[in-house]
Amino acid sequence: MSEKWTLDPAGHEVTVRNKTFWGLATVRGVFKTVHGEGVLAEDGTGEGLVTVESASLDTRLAKRDTHLRSSDFFDVERHPTFQFAADRIGPVSADSAEVQVQGTLKVRDVVKPLTFIAHADRRADSVTLTATIPYTRADFGMTWNQLGMMAAKGEIGVKLRFTRQS
């Protein structure tokens, strides 16, 4: 029998990191509003959907946040959310806490396949998935780069705690 799981509103962190100033500094932002749900099958595999509100990005600098919300980057007016749909989450091996996650990432209406390894910490009524996922901004139509000062690639960090629904 399948179990339904919901993202714990207090148990998540979705971050983005990108080098800037020609690699001399790293900009880190946190998305404050994230929703998610999933299903875990008896065989230990799962699937799910995580939705992030693009406008909830906080880099602790208001002017930068406003620019990141503009059409140069997330274009939150036209694309208020981005999503990761996990088609399959399964153990890497029987004795490992790592899982392979396969799915699609949709940002600005661009959908790209994405596969990565996450660490799974399973407790009685919760499971926390932690991963660092590389990305390339241009793959999602984010090509603004004044004076070439931003690195083309960055990282998405996720820590997502799901709780079992009764």
152 phi and psi angles, rounded to 5 deg: -70, -30
**Per-residue confidence band for 78, with pLDDT thresholds at 50, 70 and 90:** very high
Q: Give the DSSP letter of residue 30.
A: E
Q: What is the DSSP string of 40-109?
A: E-TTS-EEEEEEEEGGGEE-S-HHHHHHHHSTTTT-TTT--EEEEEEEEEEESSTT-SEEEEEEEEEETT
pLDDT at 148 over 70: no
Per-residue pLDDT of 55-75, as tens digits, reads: 999 999 999 999 999 999 999
What are the structural domains, with CATH classification, of the chain?
A: 3-164 (2.40.128.110)
Span 19-39, mean pLDDT? 87
Considering the entire predicted model, what is its pTM? 0.90
CA distances from 157 to 13, 17, 77, 142, 164 (A): 8, 8, 24, 19, 23
141 phi and psi angles, rounded to 5 deg: 80, 15
